[in-house]
Structure 1
Amino acid sequence: MELLPGLILGVVAIALSTSLSKRLGVAGPLILVAVGLAASWLPILDDFEVDPELILVGVLPPLLYAAAVRLPAVEFRRDLPSISGLAVALVVISALAIGGFLTLVLPQLGFPLAVALGAVLSPSDAVATSIVKRLGISPRVVTILEGESLINDATALVLLRSAIAAVAGGFAFADTVGTFVWGIVAAVIVGVVVGGLNLRVRARMNTVAATALGFIVPFVAYLPTEHLGGSGLVAAVAAGITTGQGAARRFTAEQRVSDEINWRTVELVLEGGVFLVMGLELRGILDDNFRQQSGPGKAILLALGSLAILLAIRAVYVAGLIFFQGRRARLRQRDRLEQISERLDSLPPDFAGRGRNPGATRRRLESMRSRVTRAFNDLDYYEASPLGWKHGTIIVWAGMRGVVTLAAAQTLPRETPERELLILTAFLVAVISLLLQGLTLPALVRALRIPSTAADTSLLREEEEALDAELRTAAIDRLADPTLAVEEGGRWDARTLTIARRRLEHAADEDAGALARELQLLLIGAMRSRLLELSREGAFSSEVLRESQRRLDAQQVSLEMRQNDV
């Protein structure tokens, strides 16, 4: 089939699968894998093969970047120890365990090469997150799975590169560890720098130009990092997190709205495309295996054994993670925080005015109070959403393998012994994991009788109402600020201020004209400033903060469009 008709049919399949997934209750990527598997046997299709570098370089950086931009930063920070453990320590442990298993059953591979395949099989895929979200599981579990899938791909690829280098040059523990650490550190540095430059440069552009430039940011982070010997995927994630956290302060409302829509579309097409490719490549991989191994029987046994080991290690690791949550340590931490808070409250009112630099003293006190408030909010979060054994079971079973496993397997050197067998094994691990775990995850949730957060929205509604009250108070305080008329050149007369105050307090719908729209934009700015303060304090969930940001952006874009039409 020619390229253009194939692309058209692929986009159609992705769009239809996405629509069907909501009606069938099955994740779109699982449908696309099945469609690809069926289509691979059609006589009109030849053996289908995609250069793995196209996926690793052309698809994964923008995919991970798009997910990182939307990452719930508050929850990610709170569970960073758990996420980093799953994404780094668990991947390394799993790779070594699979390496030992493969060395026993395929001694001709050698341990470094066996570890390389272990690194290929170890990372979980982001498709688990979309399935768990739809099931209404605790947002904390979703954040942990999402954060893990963002980072563990890069960990696995850095480990894969280190293992292949050890095969070529001989294994040296210190060199391998040094290569691994450098790959992560260099990537974080480059990613943060690129993300910061992205914020500053695009903030000075109009929306269309800024959107066009935004599409190349993942690759700008990826390419120099790879040149320096780091992980380009970690750099793309770091650039995405930096951009996502700075967008509320740096970008215009129109830019944020544009970015969200465009990156969601890009993510849908790229993610759907790679899962469709997974299914389409089956025929060629099986043909290669029949020529070299006389059938897939050995690969199936290796895949089942490897998957069982991966799940067993993941279960043990997650059980330890749940057990060592440090409940007693948090109780002691709350006591210490209460003591610090009491000391801050006991300071005399004129304390900040003492000393040689009262302004610096005042800023330090405000910073300390903010950190204490954030620490209290963190503890409240841990107590309100504890991780129990049922949540741990979901985290274990949701650790599905996917695109990275297949793409990375095909980057194994051509001279690798049993290469066709290893590639088919990786493919089977990914497909069996996706279909078995993905299709049975809803049944597992029902069997565990985990309460659905989607069914009970009262707490979320209360949180939204509390945040709305905070923002309205910030806007009303801004209206009552005696410096407002002076700061704005005396443009706001008493009537306009009265109308604006009525709109805030009583939700009146009358239009006060162009001057009132300008005042509304000013008040939206006051609300957004308060929103950023609340975000830093961690008093509200990222979901509620982000939804409020979307509403403010939508209101601002609408007002600005009406101003431009006048």
Structure 2
Amino acid sequence: MPVLVAVVLVVAGCAAAATRLRVAAPVLLVVVGALAGLVPGVPLVEVEPDWVLLGVLPPLLYSAAVAMPATSFRRELRTISGLSVTLVVVSSLLLGLFFSAALGLDLGWAVALGAIVSPTDAVATAIARRAGVPARVLTLLEGESLLNDATALVLLRSAVAGAGAAVSVGAVALDFVLAVAFAVVIGVVVGRTMLAVRARVADPTVTTLLSFTVPFLAALPAEAVDASGLVAAVVAGLVTGHRAPRVLTPRDRVSDALSWRTVELALEGAVFLVMGLQLEALVVDVRAQHGSLHLVLGVAAVGLALTVAVRAAYVVLLLRSARRRVRHSAERSAWLDEVEQRVERRVQHLPADGDTRAVRRVERFRARVRQARHDLDYVLDERLGPREGVVIVWAGMRGAISLAAAQTLPASTPDRPVLVLVAFTLAGGSLLLQGLTLPALARRLARPATADDRASRTRARMHALLDEVAAREGQDAPRVQVLRAQRTALLDALEEGALDPDAVGHALDVLDAEESGLELRGEGLRTS
């Protein structure tokens, strides 16, 4: 118990100090942990890898997925899939070839090490957000960090199996597809079911308590059928984040937001602190076996450079694809204009008392056309150029998942302490080097004028929509009724892609807080 209290106090202290020092809290926690590990009398901290992979990562990824706007994820699904699957696979193979040559490992074990250090850490998103990078870059970084952990762990499992027996590429690919497919199904079922259950609970405290079970209800069954528990937790989070504003009460959502923020801080902080504390033990093990750290440091340094180089090469291809998408969107815009005109002519010819089903079909089609128009505007307005590409490359830092994955290596792994220390050194070096320099780089490459103009236009459209809804409800309408109508209008506009997700999220928070206050004062309407 004293150790747990000490960890919580250190995490809280570092989080507060990080804000003043303008550095990411995980970076500070790793440094503090490493220094604390050198102090005589500090106990050796050993954490079971399964506790991290099944006890810590599912709630962290679930929480991040809940906060991920579904519209942004849908728009960038292809790019996110490339970063979280294709890039991880390519990085794992190329790093595996290097580790095999540098450490004299069998290719299977070398690829396993490559898979361990291939996924990026979500801490980059928090750093980039504070530095004011464009919303589209944040979406890519968030989406990548949600899914690439699962890709790396499936590759790691296959590589370890292949180190002892012949495993075909087809078998690995099939294993990955099945693991993801089953995980998606389980995540959707758990997410929708738990939302339905929580919607029937009147107490916000109980509702939030139930939300803490969702990532585990998704991850544990998925792991039991050899699917990806992390993907299941992510999918459950995406479903929850998309549907919760229409299903849960404002008091439920306010309670969830505050509670999950605290959980995130505690879990993520503890993981990075433990990373630092374990450094001394790893160094002692490697020195006892090899007498020197030169090989480990050299391999980790070259491996880190290789990860950045591979990521840079992939981002160059990504930017070329983004430019082609812009050209295609510009060409498609004219075609969409014609479609909109034909739809409007069709609407004008519908009889006033016509078939309601036909009217609904036309309205649904009009909504899809509007969504396509907003998607085109998004691609044309939020362009990815060299500046954004540099930020995406440098934000690909490694973190806690690499150390947790390294510790899942079997005890029979050749030179296991060396592999674990290489993973730690590479991940820790990446976190310190890239984490400390990313804010300055992002600010230097930012396009403030363009971002400010776009934000101003978004706020103007959103306020106009809110004013229109308030006027439609009338001055005599109860305030809660107006707030609910405004929330519905914002959610409808968000699903169509008409408004920026971050701006809508902030507006929804304001509406939730006001409605919760009215309900607490007894001025709310009774819901049936």
Q: TM-score, normalised by structure 1?
A: 0.89
Alignment partner, residue 187 of structure 1:
183
Please point out which of 149, 154, 159 is paired with 1:163: 159
Check the 8 A contact 1:135/1:442 in 2, yes or no.
Answer: yes
Rounded Cα–Cα distance in structure 1 between residues aligned with 2:97 and 2:524: 69
Alignment partner, residue 466 of structure 2:
471
Check the 8 A contact 1:83/1:144 in 2, yes or no.
Answer: yes
1:328-382 per-position Cα deviation (integer Å, ceiling 9, x unaligned): 2111211221121111112253437798xx2222122111111111111111112
**Secondary structure of 1:114's aligned partner:** helix
**Secondary structure of 2:522's aligned partner:** helix
Check the 8 A contact 1:112/1:164 in 2, yes or no.
Answer: yes
Rounded Cα–Cα distance in structure 2 between residues aligned with 1:15 and 1:106: 40
Alpha-carbon shift at residue 564 of structure 1 (Å)? 7.2
Please point out which of 543, 549, 552 is paired with 2:502: 543
**What count of residue pairs does the alignment treat as equivalent?**
522
Check if 1:332 corresponds to 2:328. no
The correspondence of residues 417-496 of structure 1 with structure 2, limited to 5 A, is: 417-445=414-442, 448-452=444-448, 457=452, 459-479=454-474
Q: Runs ≥4 in structure 1, deviation > 6 angstroms?
A: 352-355
1:507-544 per-position Cα deviation (integer Å, ceiling 9, x unaligned): xxxxxxxxxxxx22222221122122111111111111
Change over 3 Å in CA distance of 1:204–1:420 after alignment to 2: same
**Secondary structure of 1:193's aligned partner:** helix
Change over 3 Å in CA distance of 1:352–1:306 after alignment to 2: farther
Alignment partner, residue 27 of structure 1:
24
Rounded Cα–Cα distance in structure 1 between residues aligned with 2:18 and 2:347: 61
Alpha-carbon shift at residue 185 of structure 1 (Å)? 0.8
Paired amino acid for 1:314: R
Change over 3 Å in CA distance of 1:194–1:352 after alignment to 2: farther
RMSD: 1.9
Query: Which runs of no fewer than 5 residues in structure 1 stay unpaired?
Result: 480-496, 501-518
Check the 8 A contact 1:48/1:283 in 2, yes or no.
Answer: no
The correspondence of residues 351-390 of structure 1 with structure 2, limited to 5 A, is: 351=350, 358-390=355-387
Alignment partner, residue 34 of structure 2:
37
Check if 1:555 corresponds to 2:514. yes
Alpha-carbon shift at residue 469 of structure 1 (Å)? 2.3
Paired amino acid for 1:351: L
Alignment partner, residue 320 of structure 1:
317
Rounded Cα–Cα distance in structure 2 between residues aligned with 1:365 and 1:452: 40
Rounded Cα–Cα distance in structure 1 between residues aligned with 2:227 and 2:195: 23
Alignment partner, residue 196 of structure 2:
200
Change over 3 Å in CA distance of 1:352–1:187 after alignment to 2: farther
Larger CA Rg, structure 1 vs 2: 1
Query: Which runs of no fewer than 5 residues in structure 2 stay unpaired?
Result: none
Paired amino acid for 2:333: R
Change over 3 Å in CA distance of 1:419–1:520 after alignment to 2: same
Change over 3 Å in CA distance of 1:372–1:116 after alignment to 2: same
Change over 3 Å in CA distance of 1:565–1:127 after alignment to 2: closer
Rounded Cα–Cα distance in structure 2 between residues aligned with 1:546 and 1:216: 24
Aligned identity (percent) is 44
Deviates more, 1:457-466 or 1:75-84: 457-466
Change over 3 Å in CA distance of 1:216–1:352 after alignment to 2: farther
Please point out which of 92, 95, 109 is paired with 1:95: 92
Check the 8 A contact 1:199/1:250 in 2, yes or no.
Answer: yes
Q: TM-score, normalised by structure 2?
A: 0.95
The correspondence of residues 109-124 of structure 1 with structure 2, limited to 5 A, is: 109-124=105-120
Rounded Cα–Cα distance in structure 2 between residues aligned with 1:46 and 1:100: 37
Rounded Cα–Cα distance in structure 1 between residues aligned with 2:255 and 2:318: 39
Paired amino acid for 1:381: Y
Alpha-carbon shift at residue 308 of structure 1 (Å)? 1.4
1:393-437 per-position Cα deviation (integer Å, ceiling 9, x unaligned): 111011000000001001011101111110000000011101111
**Secondary structure of 2:521's aligned partner:** helix
Alignment partner, residue 172 of structure 1:
168
Alignment partner, residue 59 of structure 1:
56
Paired amino acid for 2:65: A
Rounded Cα–Cα distance in structure 1 between residues aligned with 2:508 and 2:253: 10
1:115-139 per-position Cα deviation (integer Å, ceiling 9, x unaligned): 1111101000011111111111111
Rounded Cα–Cα distance in structure 1 between residues aligned with 2:360 and 2:421: 60
Check if 1:532 corresponds to 2:524. no
Rounded Cα–Cα distance in structure 1 between residues aligned with 2:430 and 2:280: 19
Alpha-carbon shift at residue 46 of structure 1 (Å)? 3.1
**Secondary structure of 2:459's aligned partner:** helix
**Secondary structure of 1:46's aligned partner:** coil
